[in-house]
């Protein structure tokens, strides 16, 4: 009754239709058919569950409002209503895999920096994307998202869609520029891979361009004496390499060396140090440095 009174006050004339006769409301029924056709195509194309039909309807209407229409002279409904062209750079493939940045507080160093989710469209009023996390069954709104528009979520794999990373081993730090072996990373479906990374698979053979002696198995590390001497920091070298490439002090027998270690001692006072040439020279240099620096 309130709506009827409102129409009478505003001068609105209502035209009702007979029950179960959609022919009398052809324009609206045809538009509903267009929307449902898009919904059906999006659901089947992405293998998404039918319980997401509401999200798909919202995204389909969002797209239809930004598509050209013949009655408006190739203009969009958004342009006719808002008086300006719509911005479409933010649109992505519906249902594609998206990696959302983890913004949780107290994030540990080894925790995942992002989480795989499913793109559901644009969140109105937020200038952000609307996403669904199948592993936890939660919706999330975020603007920090990386998309893989060529891949869909493997809904048939179940809710526990964990990432499977091929085992790998780290090669010698000085020869990593020579080793480029592909290691596929699967996300959900078997066909989701990432670009090659510089690692060597555990079960794979060594690269033809890299000798097998350059890799050191993690299970049984074997140290071999190599004539090659690395020029890197000492803490990156093996003990065997340091011993092999270090020259021994010659000219002193073992017994004589032990005797020298026993009888040699440092000066305990100034008088003893002043009588030794090496200590006297060191003191002269130190005094000259004080004079030069005015200290």
Task: Give the model confidence (pLDDT) of 147-174 as tens digits.
Answer: 989 988 888 765 444 444 444 444 444 4
pLDDT of residue 256: 64
43 pLDDT above the threshold of 60 = yes
Q: How far is CA 8 from the centre of its chain?
A: 61
Backbone angles phi, psi at 119, to 5 degrees: -80, 125
Quick check: 135 and 158 in contact, CB under 8 A? no
- DSSP state string for 11-79: TPPP----TT-GGGGHHHHHHHHHHHHHHHHHHHHHT--GGGHHHHHHHHHHHHTTSEEGGGTSEEHHH
Cβ-based neighbours of 173, under 8 Å, separated by 6 or more: 232, 236
| 129 burial via Cβ count (<10 Å: 0-12, 13-18, 19+) | buried
pLDDT of residue 40: 94
pLDDT of residue 168: 42
Given the structure tokens 């361009």, which residue do they identify?
A: 209
Cβ-based neighbours of 103, under 8 Å, separated by 6 or more: 142, 144
Task: In whole angstroms, give the CA distance from residue 290 to residue 294.
Answer: 6
Domain boundaries along the sequence of the chain: 25-88, 96-161, 162-222, 254-292
Residue 15's CB: how many other CB atoms inside 10 A?
A: 6
Least confident of 65-74, 182-191, 196-205: 196-205
Q: Per the confidence metrics, is the pTM higher than 0.85?
A: no
Task: In whole angstroms, give the CA distance from residue 167 to residue 169.
Answer: 7
129 pLDDT above the threshold of 70 = yes
Mean predicted lDDT score pLDDT of the chain? 75
Cβ-based neighbours of 163, under 8 Å, separated by 6 or more: 116, 185, 186, 187
Residue 116's CB: how many other CB atoms inside 10 A?
A: 22
pLDDT of residue 250: 60
pLDDT tens per residue across span 235-287: 667 777 777 776 665 655 666 666 666 555 677 788 888 888 888 888 889 88
In the predicted model, what is the mean pLDDT of residues 196-202? 40
Given the structure tokens 């989480």, which residue do they identify?
A: 115
């Amino acid at each position: 009754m309130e709506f009827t009174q409102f129409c009478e006050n505003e001068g609105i004339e209502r035209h009702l239709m007979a029950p179960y006769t959609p022919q009398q409301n052809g324009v609206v029924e045809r538009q509903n058919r267009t929307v449902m056709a898009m919904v059906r195509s999006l659901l089947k194309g992405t293998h998404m569950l039918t319980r997401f039909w509401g999200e798909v309807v919202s995204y389909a209407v969002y797209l239809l409002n930004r598509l050209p229409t013949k009655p408006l002279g190739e203009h969009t409904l958004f342009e006719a209503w808002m008086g300006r062209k719509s911005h479409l750079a933010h649109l992505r493939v519906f249902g594609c895999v998206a990696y959302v940045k983890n913004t949780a507080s107290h994030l540990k160093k080894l925790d995942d920096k992002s989480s795989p989710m499913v793109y559901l469209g644009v969140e109105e009023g937020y200038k952000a994307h609307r996403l669904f996390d199948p592993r936890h069954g939660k919706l999330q709104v975020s603007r920090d998202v990386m998309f893989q528009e060529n891949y869909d979520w493997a809904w048939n794999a179940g809710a526990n869609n964990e990432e499977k990373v091929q085992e790998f081993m780290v090669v010698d730090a000085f020869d990593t520029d020579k080793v480029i072996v592909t290691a596929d990373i699967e996300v959900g479906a078997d066909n989701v891979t990432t670009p090659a990374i510089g690692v060597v698979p555990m079960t794979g053979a060594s690269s033809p361009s890299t000798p097998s002696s350059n890799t050191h198995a993690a299970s049984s590390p074997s140290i071999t004496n190599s004539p090659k001497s690395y020029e890197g920091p000492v803490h990156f070298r093996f003990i065997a390499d340091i011993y092999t490439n270090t020259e021994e002090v010659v000219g002193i027998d073992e017994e004589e060396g032990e005797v020298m270690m026993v009888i040699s001692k440092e000066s305990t006072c100034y008088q003893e140090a002043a009588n030794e040439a090496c200590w006297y020279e060191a003191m002269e240099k130190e005094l000259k440095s004080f004079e030069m620096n005015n200290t």
